[in-house]
Chains A and B, each alone.
Chain A
Amino acid sequence: NAGVTQTPKFRVLKTGQSMTLLCAQDMNHEYMYWYRQDPGMGLRLIHYSVGEGTTAKGEVPDGYNVSRLKKQNFLLGLESAAPSQTSVYFCASSSRGASTDTQYFGPGTRLTVL
């Protein structure tokens, strides 16, 4: 039982490049989340999903897109990376919503945009 995994662990991009971060969970959770963590800012919710085929915007969605084609996977896309998107990205999942249930986090992806 791997829990929540994230791919890749590290990535360096040039401004304007695109990439997709993959999050996978094997706990059959309905809810999945993407956060970014920056120094002095705390974790901020980018997008989330309440089930397969659904997505919703969080606090800081601009510049990101997401898809949840399969229940176990939640993809985060950057179409045209900017230096302001340099951050640590965490994916999380929960059985029910974050208001009522534990969020299980992946190990994070460290992204640098030059």
Chain B
Amino acid sequence: RKEVEQDPGPFNVPEGATVAFNCTYSNSASQSFFWYRQDCRKEPKLLMSVYSSGNEDGRFTAQLNRASQYISLLIRDSKLSDSATYLCVVTLFSGGYQKVTFGTGTKLQVIP
């Protein structure tokens, strides 16, 4: 089983739609969680951190479910500019060692 798993997609959605992605992780000791966005042939950029209480940034909402070991990203009112690959990131710092695990990404295509 992969440490971090994402549905690769692609998710093809019309403009204005709501779309949700999930990401599951296998290490229950994981400490921090993030969503990054990566445009085609570009570098990843932080979209948002994911907190236990859930957090929202405009049209984007992130949730963490520690019991079931998954995080989610909800995008409301999708825009053409949201087309990208969304990477889930799980981190752990233990015994002086930093572990950063990226998912393979979920590709979103927003269609006019």
Contact = CB atoms under 8 A, between A and B. Distances in A.
A and B: interacting chains? yes
Interface of A: 33, 35, 40-45, 48, 50, 56, 58-59, 90, 97-100, 102-103, 105-108
Given A99-B93, A105-B44, A42 B102 contact: yes
Interface of B: 4, 31-32, 42-46, 87, 89, 91-93, 97-105
Contacts, number: 54
A40 B104 contact: yes
8 contacts: A42-B102, A42-B103, A56-B98, A97-B93, A99-B98, A105-B43, A105-B45, A107-B43
B43 A43 contact: no
A43 B98 contact: no
Nearest to A88: B41
Sort A-B residue pairs by CB-CB distance and give the 8 closest, nearest first.
A105-B43, A43-B102, A42-B104, A99-B91, A42-B102, A99-B32, A102-B46, A98-B100
A25 to B, nearest CB: 13
A interface SS class: loop
Given A42-B104, A42-B105, A56-B98, A100 B46 contact: no
A107 B87 contact: no
Given A42-B87, A43-B87, A99 B92 contact: yes
B102 A100 contact: no
Contact of A44 (B31, B93, B102): B102
Contacts of A45: 99-100
Contacts of A58: 98, 100
A12 to B, nearest CB: 17
Nearest to B6: A42
Given A42-B105, A108-B43, 9 more contacts: A43-B102, A50-B98, A56-B97, A59-B99, A97-B98, A98-B98, A103-B46, A105-B43, A107-B43
A99 B31 CA distance: 7
Given A97-B93, A98-B91, A99-B92, A43 B44 contact: yes
Contacts of A35: 102
